[in-house]
Amino acid sequence: MPDFSPERDELLDKDKKYLWHSMAPCNAAIPPMVVTAGAGSWITDIDGNRYLDAMSGLWCVNAGYGRKELAEAAYEQLLALPYYPLSQSHVPGIQLAEKLSEWLEDDYVIFFSNSGSEANEAAFKIARQYHQQNGDPGRHKIISRYRAYHGGSTGALAATGQAQRKFKYESLGGGFLHVRPPDSYRRPDGMTEEQFNLLCAQEIEETIVWEAAESIAAVIMEPVITGGGMLVPQQCYVDRVQEICKRHGVLLIVDEVICGFGRSGRKFGHHNFGLKPDIVTMAKGLTSGYLPLSATAVRRTIYERFASDGEYGHFRHVNTFGGNPAACALALKNLEILEQEGLVDRARELGARLESEMRGLRAHPLVGDIRSFGFLLGIELVADKATKQPASAETVKGIIGQCKSRGLIIGRNGDTVAGYNNVLTFCPPLSSTDEDMNFLCATFTDVMNNQLKGTP
Ligand code: PLP
């Protein structure tokens, strides 16, 4: 492991001077954590402090840190062929496309990009061009849910349902509509969860009808809303949305950027619901974050409309780096690791354990709700259990800070709207050991119990 400690202060000065961080204030009082190494579920900072990374970086290091085989797969491919565009072809691209179709357990054709945002942008363009070529040229609008995050590029941000992420960047692309998310915890009084879930699905149908079905291209949704607060729908919601889309000729895009690659305890999140999406987008866990790569999987029947179209005959979308051969070779090795180590099943097991240990906190006065999906967990913090008034930003930040000072990194939902940023999130590597889990659960429980005593 390289030792950067002699240059520590100089590096921090240069960081402040030259490096523009994402999602962090430019004049942050506390310097960023400079991470220098990772192994398994643990990262080490420049001062030698170790942390259990229960967020897998930004929800992506599914196979864990420090996998030499992944580095070697990329290295060997870089020596053999570092780059060629996929307007032609290369072997790792072919092999990975086949493998992804196998993982999806259905008949899909794969288009590669570099990030989750790009995968969603490609999905929107494919949906719109498909309808054009299918004799339905008016279908251009995309429906998504409030609180969902779909990316930072203009189209993906327009699809995102988190208002304050858009402030100062509007106007974004037109033709994006938003509907109510299935947030069962905050459903209206007197409604059962099932009634509320069906009401939310119904709102999609009403939007389609009010906007005119012949103007709607697609609905995009994650299997569960992850970054927006771990909102897990009921089966009836998912079934109804699929049925509505089919009946109105609207394509269903499922964003598996976080839920994919074993995170849900199945290969893809939508497998848990028996969903049959028209388009599936994926990124993050595809390479466990080791290199940038994303994919848009498109049902063959949709692809065939592109092939048979006389006017264009292709998807008119340029992407220089999408499907880089080294990234594809690394992704293939990553999927091999997930398969060989049984990490999809392990995620289900670990998720069940995490949920059951956290259940012990249900009676805690700050804990309003605990929601899980595979090896993802969200704990919604409230100031008042009866009124469900969200916990203050200070309380939420305080808990995250106390966990960090004890060597545990946890996250928070990405909603920037006040009152909707009170969900603590957990998304540890699927390779986490039993000892990692012991540490995570014991540390978090202790931090929460200390809130009651007023001791950090
Ligand atoms: N979709 C979801 C569900 C995400 O969580 C994210 C990023 O966090 C994206 C899309 C965008 O991915 P990227 O940041 O790789 O562009």
Q: Which CATH architecture has domain 68-341?
A: 3-Layer(aba) Sandwich (3.40)
- How far is ligand 1, taken at its centre, from the CA of residue 451, in Å? 32
- How far is ligand 1, taken at its centre, from the CA of residue 247, in Å? 29
The class of domain 4-54+343-452 in CATH terms is: alpha beta
- Which protein residue's CA is at the shortest distance from atom 10 of ligand 1? 150
- Which protein residue's CA is at the shortest distance from atom 13 of ligand 1? 116
Q: Ligand 1 pocket test: pick from 147, 258, 261, 321 the residue with the most ligand atoms within 8 Å of its Cβ.
A: 258
Average pLDDT for 151-161? 97
| 36 close to 45: Cβ distance less than 8 angstroms | yes
Cβ count near 209 (within 10 Å) = 12
Q: Ligand 1 pocket test: pick from 22, 55, 120, 150 the residue with the most ligand atoms within 8 Å of its Cβ.
A: 150
Atom of ligand 1 nearest to the CA of 153: 16
Pocket of ligand 1 (CB under 6 A): 115-117, 120, 149-152, 222, 226-227, 255, 257-258, 283
pLDDT tens per residue across span 167-214: 999 999 889 999 999 999 999 999 999 999 999 999 999 999 999 999
Q: What is the pLDDT of residue 455?
A: 59
* Burial grade of 101 (CB within 10 A; 0-12, 13-18, 19 or more): middle
| 114 close to 319: Cβ distance less than 8 angstroms | yes
User: What residue spans define the domains of the chain?
Assistant: 4-54+343-452, 68-341
In the structure, what pLDDT confidence band is assigned to residue 312 with cuts at 50, 70 and 90?
confident
Atom of ligand 1 nearest to the CA of 259: 3
Find the radius of gyration of the CA atoms of the chain. Answer: 22
- How far is ligand 1, taken at its centre, from the CA of residue 310, in Å? 34
Q: Is the pLDDT of residue 310 over 90?
A: no
Atom of ligand 1 nearest to the CA of 58: 8
Overall pTM surpassing 0.90 (yes/no): yes
Question: Mean pLDDT in the chain?
Answer: 95
Q: Is the pLDDT of residue 2 over 90?
A: no
Q: Is the pLDDT of residue 376 over 70?
A: yes
Q: Is the pLDDT of residue 311 over 80?
A: no
Q: Does the predicted interface ipTM exceed a cut of 0.90? A: yes
Of 1-5, 134-138, 342-346, the poorest mean pLDDT is in: 1-5
- CA torsion 441-446-448-454 (nearest 10°) is -170
- How far is ligand 1, taken at its centre, from the CA of residue 149, in Å? 7
